[in-house]
Chain A
Amino acid sequence: MTNLLDVQDLQVRFFTPEGVVHAVEGVTLSLDEGETLALVGESGCGKTVTARAVMRLIPWPPGKITEGNIQFQNRDVLAMQSDELRHFRGGDVAMIFQEPMTSLNPVFTIEEQLTEAIELHQRVRHTEAVERAVKLLSLTGIPTPEERLKDYPHQLSGGMRQRVMIAMAISCNPKLLIADEPTTALDVTIQAQILELLKGLKKELGMAILLITHDLGVVAEMAERVAVMYAGRIVEIRQVADLYSDPQHPYTEGLLTSIPSVDRQLDRLHVIEGNVPNLLDLPSGCAFRDRCPYALERCAREVPPLVTVRPGLEVACFNYRDLRQAVRTQTIESADSRVAPTAQPLVEVRGLVKHFVANKGFLGRGRTYVHAVEDINFQIWEGETFGLVGESGCGKTTTGRIIVGLETPTGGDVAIMGKSVASLDRRQMKEMHKHVQIIFQDPYSSLNPRMKVGTIIGEGLRIHSKLSQKEKERQVLDIMQAVGLENYHVERYPHEFSGGQRQRIGIARALVLNPTFIVCDEPVSALDVSIQSQILNLLRDLQGQFNLTYLFIAHNLAVVKHISDRIGVLYLGKLMEVAAKNELYDKPLHPYTKALLSAVPIPKPGLRRERVILQGDLPSPIRPPSGCRFRTRCPIALPRCAEENPELREVAPGHYVACIRV
């Protein structure tokens, strides 16, 4: 294999009014032709900046490559002049981005954007460029490419747009494709399609891929080598094959043990304490030492250099795994302090239907509806965590919002503690709000930026409680302690906190009224993996401490499995399967559940499951398919499925499936 890209001692800094941000601090890596290298790390670790520096895409001001050397096929990238650089970008190296929604220009058709990219780098006539565009689209697996050429980006689904982006990127046969979180914004079944596509294209075109991701499952699936980054430095770079059984750097080890996985079960997740250091003011020595359980005195003084442990494995640590005498055994106390859930229903969802008006039509004629939730039935038992999973648009969030009373259902009913919500008058409804709370996904928009943390948490008491001001303050402090916040945080404003701490504030706000039931709407999906495990453990602990019942809504199957007792799988507003979690993950019965589970990349290379890759996209919820809503993508659908609407029925004790073929 010949060397394609060689980055030596790269240093990128951003000169901001607050000070110098040390985004990348001496990164050295190389990439062979046809190889896939994954750059992994949490947000702010410098992985995207490194990749952008390779394409010389660091915006100045405020960013600047202050040191280092980038060689691409023995050409000095940093010395390139504008013409050469233009051919290098797009011609030699192409990039695809995370957001397929915004990386295509909405005012041009697919044809215009694709042919422009082709004509920019190759001397071809327009008709040839169009022909090539069609070829590229079919190469990326887009059905009827000639028709799609005339479409505008908004007419395509997210997965389709990402395919168009990939077609554009490979239009000039680049030798290196930089993929910056290419599947993060996509649903898991679509992610599986795109990963398959990238693997196929790589083989076919022989290009190298620099894959940026935070998902260790995707790494195992895609890459030959992996570089783990932390605070602007590579801490470990190695072959992927044995990464998961033998992580050398304490940070890598922490990352691997802190992610929940669909193929194992722990009561508590391992936690990397603390937060990512501030890049404005990096600590001396090793940036990870404050969070490191194996830190030595030396780590505070010197920055550990990357050293070769054995061929194909370099680590930047003074106390990496092979050096440590006692190999730490994973002792995770199984501290499930919860009272065992009873089969007493606390929340009953009965025939729930929700339609949103999609198009008002003219004077109400020709009105169309989004069928967000269509006849859902399930129960949540006292003291349990009921997980609700599904891809975007499946109605999981709408269901949660109806239960909390943020939406009114179009049909059906929700009963909480035996009381039907629809029958409550205003006063009773207010009373109900004391018992039912919600935790939101986005820790940034869920807190009022102009209120102090103490006020935010105390809002519930202001509305409902008749306690004296002093007692209210005491309760706020008590609850803050329970979620792991400090007393002095009361006087701070939300913007002074990190994402994980903000999520703790949101949890404290929900808990302050001592509710019995909490809807957790994707509470960890906006957080980094090391913070995610802290919050998941916290939710677990609080559940035991306060006797809570959770409805846990998420798209991440591993997270849902980790925290839930029973799980419901939603597809296009319908429940497909409900079962206890182990039953569901070990013996999925519905074809959709099977496909969904097999689409999750597992952070274990070599562990290849039988893949069921679903074809096509989610149908529009405005005109859902007749009969079984899943039939259009179902691998075992029969003609009968288009006519019959499968009911959810019990096939084994506690295991419900809505499929006529089970």
Chain B
Amino acid sequence: MLDRMRRSLLAAKFPIFGLAILLMVIVLALGAKWISPYDPNLVQVEDRLFPPAFAEGGSSAHWLGTDTLGRDVLSRLIYGTQVSLMVGFMAVIVAGTIGVSLGLIAGFFGGWIDDVIMRVADIQLAFPFILLSISVLAVLQARRGFEANITTLQRLIPLILTLGVAQWVTYARMARSVTLSLREKEFVEAARAMGDSKASIIFRHIMPNALAPLIVLASFNVASTILAEAALSFLGLGVPPAIPTWGGMLSESRELLVSGVWWLATIPGLAIMITVLSINLIGDWLRDFFDPRLRN
């Protein structure tokens, strides 16, 4: 399987490109402390609003310029990768775990269990995402924001949970529909005819066969969650202000964009775009990879 994956990757071009960028972003996130030239929160008012080095009036002291408080944009960008990746992947893991388990249960057992789970899912979908975020985050985040001595991850937990809970329905629906069709497959019937237990049927026979489309869904979902985090941060709901995030940077650039300070908006915007694009490229490849019709 891994060998086949490697060969298929080498044969395609775009996913390699996507994987390279994603790896680079991961390296930046892990090594932010050593790679970034400045402390991302270091305020130097005298250096405020330096344009990037490649633009007119820029200096090599700040490669991507500085913001209104004179903080280094490059350093903030590098630290921002931590939040984006952590929130993106963790929220998808939360959503996937809840969704897949409930979906498998609903699809396999059917009947009233299925009805209950799927109606809860319907209610969840009808509930506006922004309203959910505001109500959950406003309460939790406010409390967390003022606690001292906690790690970035701990500060992000409310956001991750919110984004995870908001998205489990997609996984539940897909897991359920795949389970419904697999349940009728003859190899599942064969296991039943042999007297196999329900748990074994679900975990040995159904789940491994349901996983491929779910992995593909998850890969695209990581990208959309990064965007959602940026949107929430832009609204000021996402992450406590002390933590630099791409969405937060965008939000701070809002008023300055018209007055000619273009880099504060475009640079985090580009960072989001490139990261999301690279993940989507990988997702496309995963989808093709798992599609049995494209297999030999």
Interface residues of A (CB under 8 A from B): 17-18, 404-406, 429-430, 432-434, 436-438, 440-442, 445-451, 456, 459-460, 463-464, 506, 509-510, 513
Contact = CB atoms under 8 A, between A and B. Distances in A.
Contacts of B186: 440-442, 445-446
A430 B195 contact: yes
Given A450-B208, A450-B209, A459-B196, 20 more contacts: A17-B296, A405-B193, A406-B189, A429-B195, A432-B195, A437-B194, A438-B190, A438-B193, A445-B185, A445-B186, A445-B187, A446-B190, A447-B187, A448-B209, A456-B187, A459-B191, A463-B194, A463-B195, A463-B196, A463-B197
Contacts of A432: 195
A406 B196 contact: no
A476 to B, nearest CB: 14
B205 interface: yes
A495 to B, nearest CB: 8
9 closest cross-chain pairs (CB), A and B: A433-B195, A446-B186, A440-B186, A430-B195, A448-B187, A450-B208, A438-B193, A445-B186, A404-B193
A436 B195 CA distance: 10
A509 B190 contact: yes
Task: Tell me which of B186, B191, B208, B296 has the highest count of chain A C-beta atoms within 10 A of its own C-beta.
Answer: B186
A510 B191 CA distance: 10
A347 to B, nearest CB: 15
Task: Tell me which of B189, B194, B209 has the highest count of chain A C-beta atoms within 10 A of its own C-beta.
Answer: B194
Contacts of A18: 296
A513 B193 CA distance: 12
30 contacts: A17-B296, A405-B193, A406-B193, A429-B195, A430-B195, A433-B193, A433-B195, A437-B193, A437-B194, A438-B190, A440-B186, A440-B189, A440-B190, A441-B186, A442-B186, A445-B185, A445-B186, A446-B185, A446-B190, A447-B187, A450-B208, A456-B187, A459-B196, A460-B194, A463-B197, A463-B200, A464-B195, A506-B190, A510-B190, A513-B194
B8 to A, nearest CB: 11
A441 B205 CA distance: 19
B13 interface: no
Contacts of A404: 193
Nearest to B195: A433
B33 interface: no
B291 to A, nearest CB: 13
A434 B187 CA distance: 17
Interface in B167-216: 185-187, 189-197, 200, 204-205, 208-209
A448 B195 contact: no
Nearest to A430: B195
Contacts of B190: 438, 440, 446, 459, 506, 509-510
Contacts, number: 59
Nearest to B194: A460
A521 to B, nearest CB: 9
A440 B194 CA distance: 13
Contacts of B204: 451
A446 B296 contact: no
A406 B192 contact: yes
Contacts of A17: 296
Contacts of B185: 445-446
A510 B193 CA distance: 9
Nearest to B191: A459
Nearest to B209: A450
Contacts of B200: 463
A448 B192 contact: no
Nearest to B184: A445
Contacts of B191: 459
A449 B186 CA distance: 11
A509 B192 CA distance: 13
Nearest to B196: A463
A464 B193 CA distance: 12
Nearest to B212: A450
Given A406-B189, A445-B185, A434 B195 contact: yes
A449 B205 CA distance: 9
Nearest to B205: A448
Contacts of A506: 190
A510 B194 CA distance: 8
Nearest to A510: B190
B186 to A, nearest CB: 4
Contacts of B296: 17-18
Task: Tell me which of B191, B193, B204, B209 has the highest count of chain A C-beta atoms within 10 A of its own C-beta.
Answer: B193
B42 to A, nearest CB: 53
A162 B78 CA distance: 66
Contacts of A456: 187
Task: Tell me which of A18, A441, A446, A448 has the highest count of chain B C-beta atoms within 10 A of its own C-beta.
Answer: A448
B180 to A, nearest CB: 14
Nearest to B192: A406
Contacts of A447: 187
Nearest to A17: B296
Contacts of A434: 195
A417 to B, nearest CB: 16
Contacts of A459: 190-191, 194, 196
Contacts of A464: 194-195
A464 B209 CA distance: 24
A112 B31 CA distance: 67
